[in-house]
Amino acid sequence: MRVDVHAHYWTDDYLDLLVELGHTDTDTQRGMGAGAGAEMDARLALMDGTGVDLQVLSAAPQLPYGEDREKAVAAARFVNDQYAEVVAEHPGRFLAFAATPMPHIAESIAEMGRALDELGMAGVAVNTTVLGRALVEPEFAPVFEELNRRAAVLYLHPAGNAACSPLIRDYQMTWMAGAPIEDTISVLQLILRGIPLRYPDIRIINSHLGGALPMLLQRADNQYRWESPQSPELPSTVARLMWYDTVGHGHLPALRAALDSFGADRLLLGTDFPYENGKVFARAVDYLSDPTIPPAAAQAMLEGNAALLFHLK
């Protein structure tokens, strides 16, 4: 079974709720092919044409984050119910990651429980930052504790905030460079704060091959003792306790770097639909089977790893 762990679904009704919550960046997600009706039919046809059996849907980066507690909770419940309906309407084709109304911790834990226990969600999606705050800050510890108690899957996706840097945002690089930089910063924060060691039962998936991490692992191993002496373990060791999706826009050198850095057993097929659509979507799947990739590694990335991670076997 081919499982795509990085795929998005949004409807205008949900995006309208986010506008009420204060989001100003929902236009990007409208009309992209990530909704219902004819857009869903086209998505399923694309999946069929590339042999993708199942997608795990997420609303990231458009998660229901906002300071208005009541509106954030309402939007989270809305999108989780909506995702549960999509999964029920298309048996065997979709799973979904739950959204939570961050930064409201008690409400996020409650909605997490509802989504996992009542709606049958496959895990929880969280942006790499919450309203500009790092996930490793102490205020978010209860969320990690609950995820660990549940041995849940945690899927992390860039927030699209240009890594809070005007040097990225003001020069039109928010997604082409900013998103993988967000991934890199987030995963290194997790590693240096020992999150995978402190919460060993959370199955953490990082987006986009871990950003630049495959190129930085040896540098991190060489420098962490003096720059981050509180870090509990060699960064390369902790990095291999997590998983990474294969969204690399079909760039084989990046995929090979991730394979060499993390191992084939840590990589999961991801397409980033609808940002990667049509022929680009097909390339996101097919490049895992390039002749330069060992067949066993290709099979693990395309099928075996996700089946084990989500207990599909």
By the 8 A CB rule, do 1 and 304 touch? Answer: no
Q: What is the pLDDT of residue 33?
A: 87
Q: For residue range 184-194, list pLDDT tens digits in order.
A: 999 999 999 99
Q: What is the pLDDT of residue 167?
A: 97
Q: Which residues have a Cβ under 8 Å from the Cβ of 138 and sit 6 or more positions away?
A: none
- The helix/strand/coil state of 94 is strand
- pLDDT bucket at 31, cuts 50 / 70 / 90: confident
Q: What is the CATH number of the domain that holds 184?
A: 3.20.20.140
Strands 94-98 and 54-58: parallel
Give the predicted TM-score (pTM) of the model. Answer: 0.97
Q: What is the mean pLDDT of residues 247-260?
A: 97
Q: What is the pLDDT of residue 129?
A: 98
Q: For the purposes of burial, counting CB atoms within 10 Å of the CB of 311, is it exposed (0-12), middle (13-18) or buried (19 or more)?
A: exposed
Query: How confident is the prediction for the chain on average, in pLDDT?
Result: 97
- The helix/strand/coil state of 219 is helix
Q: What is the pLDDT of residue 27?
A: 87
Q: Is the pLDDT of residue 313 over 80?
A: no
Q: What is the pLDDT of residue 66?
A: 97
- For residue 140, what are the domain limits? 3-309
Rg (CA), the chain: 18
First to last CA, the chain: 9
Q: For the purposes of burial, counting CB atoms within 10 Å of the CB of 201, is it exposed (0-12), middle (13-18) or buried (19 or more)?
A: exposed
Q: For residue range 56-103, list pLDDT tens digits in order.
A: 999 999 999 999 999 999 999 999 999 999 999 999 999 999 999 999
Q: How many domains is the chain partitioned into structurally?
A: 1
Q: For residue range 227-253, list pLDDT tens digits in order.
A: 999 999 999 999 999 999 999 999 999
- The helix/strand/coil state of 163 is helix
